[in-house]
Amino acid sequence: MTNHHTTHDVSCIRQDRSNESREQSRPKQLDLLDHGKHSHATRAIACAASNAKGPSLRDRIELEVAGQGAAGATRFELHQLCGVPYTSVCGPVLALLTMGRVRETKRTRLTAYGKPAAVIVSVLLADSDDEEA
């Protein structure tokens, strides 16, 4: 059997060879959709950078309470001092109360909204006339 090509086949073969040589000389175009390959690495780098920011919010709150001395601080004041939403302060304060690292006193102070709030002090301070609420 002879290997005979039609004119069309020959022109297709030449076009394929021409395309191959052009593709080798051109830089490869990146795919717009990375299918998770690059974004996974970027996300991991961003996560590692965000985790290395310093003390936890619970530690920051404990330091703020201790820094207020005998005057203590309310949860509302702590949210302002730490620069975080009020709801972000309640959980760490509860954890510190449960661990016995801070305590609530019988004293209250009004928040900016006129509501009474319990004053929290560090247990590192000597007990004063205030007893735990």
What pLDDT was estimated at residue 133?
A: 41
Give the pair of three-digit tokens for residue 123.
């247990």
In terms of DSSP bridges, do strands 102-110 and 116-122 run parallel, antiparallel, or are they unpaired?
A: antiparallel
Instruction: Show me where the domains of the chain are located.
Output: 57-122
pLDDT tens across 12-44, in order? 777 777 766 666 666 666 666 656 666 667 777
Compute the residue count for the chain. 133
Instruction: Quote the pTM value.
Output: 0.56
**Matching CATH number, 57-122, of 2.40.30.10, 1.10.10.10, 3.20.19.10, 3.40.50.11540:** 1.10.10.10
pLDDT tens across 44-88, in order? 777 777 666 667 899 999 999 999 999 999 999 999 999 999 999
